Amino acid sequence: MNECTALSDRMIEVAHGRSRWTAAESAHLERCADCGAEWQLVRATAALGGSIRLDERAIAESVVARLRAVPPVSLASRRRRRVAPAIGLAAAVLLAVAVWRVVPRSPAAESTNFATELDGLDADELAIVLEAYPEPLGAVMPDGVVGMSDLDPEELEAVLDSFEG
Amino acid sequence: MTERSDADLVGAYRAGDESAATELVRRHANPLGRYLCGSGALAADLDDLVQEAFFRAFSKLETWRGEGSFRGWLYRIGGNLLKDQVRRRRGVVAVPFEDHDATDGSDPAGDVRANEMEERLVDALGRLPRLQREVFVMRVQLGLEYSEICDALGTTPGAARVHYHHAVKRLKESVQ
């Protein structure tokens, strides 16, 4: 850090009376036109607004009175307020999944993780979204129903032939 | 008796102690007013702006996660309120000229020079880009550290330093 930068950082403390210039710093301000000009600017700006005197007590009374007039938010309504955006997001995800299945995609698009918005949700909100998410195909089958992954190659071939008629 | 920290007062208010809110207002109302004034608020609007900033800060305390200082967060709320007001008034930024306490009549020529300098400074501040003006005012007028300025303005310490130095350069050119 050079001398001018160090002095620039110190100007604020000196302008606000928290410190004083050393003899060396004062000498630098005398001989360095740039630092001298900056110091004049800082001193003048620090003094601006010094005449502002707000009535802190009156402001505090008004603020507290307004806060008292605001009805307390119940726990249930706080939870609804937190959860509502998650429900909205769940609806958007369902719609996206429905469109995803209908519209053919390239392999690159298939791998796009559209659930990055879920990263910002907490555990409760995430649970709501996941409840709304459809189960992956083959994950859970009704009792007695065999999934495609349970078929051997010959059976699978037969099933695929039947689809193609 | 040592003064309670802002974080302690916030905690006390959250627990239902209204006097903690009063103490926070007492502590920060005038500095917030000076910051808003330096950022372009009219003197006539300061009371309302400061009051609204505190009201919003206390109303939305659950959104303050304690990252950074309460003061920085409060100034961010105040700054946003001022921005909204300026937008509603179609972008007119009026940096008020104030009669300075330093002019006491004992040196009329000196007083005239001081007033002219102040007038040029106020005019030059009003013409700075918003972020440069806000960083400069917070740093110089309020004496905030760059870390607090970042909290208030949503920038980084490095960027705040750059804004400050650009502001100094422009102001020196305008005021000299």
DSSP A149: G
Separation between Cα atoms, residue A161 and residue A86, nearest integer Å: 43
pLDDT at position B86 is 80
What is the rounded average pLDDT for all residues in chain B?
83
Q: Which residue has the higher pLDDT, B86 or B80?
A: B80
Separation between Cα atoms, residue A85 and residue B99, nearest integer Å: 51
DSSP string, chain B: -PPPPHHHHHHHHHTT-HHHHHHHHHHHHHHHHHHHHHTT--HHHHHHHHHHHHHHHHHTGGG--S-S-HHHHHHHHHHHHHHHHHHHTTT---------TT--SSSHHHHHHHHHHHHHHHHHHHHS-HHHHHHHIIIIIS---HHHHHHHHT--HHHHHHHHHHHHHHHHHHH-
Long-range contact list for A25-31, CB < 8 A, 24+ apart? A28/A3, A28/A4
Q: pLDDT class for B56, splitting at 50, 70, 90?
A: very high
Nearest to B99 by CA among B72, B118, B120: B118
pLDDT at position B100 is 40
Residues of chain B neighbouring A66 (CB-CB closer than 8 A): 55
Work out the burial of residue B76: count CB atoms within 10 Å of its CB; fewer than 13 is exposed, 13-18 middle, 19 or more buried.
Answer: middle
Q: Which of A5, A52, A75 to mutate to test the interface with B (most CBs of B within 10 A)?
A: A52
The mean pLDDT value for A91-98 works out to: 72
Pick the range with the lowest mean pLDDT from A86-100, A126-140, B138-152: A126-140
Separation between Cα atoms, residue B13 and residue B64, nearest integer Å: 13
| Amino acid letter, A45 | T
Taking the CA of residue A60 and the nearest CA in chain B, the distance in Å comes to 5
Helix axes B18-38, B70-88, angle to 10 degrees: 50
Nearest to A7 by CA among A16, A18, A17, A21: A21
Work out the burial of residue B62: count CB atoms within 10 Å of its CB; fewer than 13 is exposed, 13-18 middle, 19 or more buried.
Answer: exposed
Separation between Cα atoms, residue A83 and residue A123, nearest integer Å: 11
CB contact (8 A) between residue A48 and residue B98: yes
Pick the range with the lowest mean pLDDT from A115-119, A121-125, B152-156: A115-119
| Span A14-69, pLDDT tens digits | 998 889 999 999 999 999 999 999 999 999 888 876 677 899 999 999 999 999 98
Q: pLDDT class for A89, splitting at 50, 70, 90?
A: confident
Phi/psi at B64 (5° precision)? -90, 115
CB contact (8 A) between residue A45 and residue B140: yes
pLDDT at position A34 is 93
| Span B146-160, pLDDT tens digits | 988 888 888 899 999
Q: Give the side-chain half-sphere CA count within 13 A for B153.
A: 28
φ/ψ bin of B90: left (φ > 0), alpha (ψ from -120 to 50), beta (otherwise)? left
User: Which of A99-103, A118-122, B134-138 is most confident?
Assistant: B134-138
Residues of chain A neighbouring B46 (CB-CB closer than 8 A): 52, 54
Q: Which residue has the higher pLDDT, B175 or A67?
A: A67
What is the rounded average pLDDT for all residues in chain A?
73
3-state secondary structure A16-80: CCCCCCCHHHHHHHHHCHHHHHHHHHHHHHHHCCCCCCCCHHHHHHHHHHHHHHCCCCCHHHHHH
Q: Evaluate if pTM is beyond 0.80.
A: no
Q: Which residue has the higher pLDDT, A9 or B62?
A: A9
The mean pLDDT value for B35-63 works out to: 89
B117 part of contact set with chain A, CB < 8 Å: yes
Q: Which residue has the higher pLDDT, B20 or B147?
A: B20
CB contact (8 A) between residue A41 and residue B121: yes
Nearest to A54 by CA among B73, B167, B78: B78
Q: Is the ipTM of this complex over 0.85?
A: no
Residues of chain B neighbouring A16 (CB-CB closer than 8 A): 143
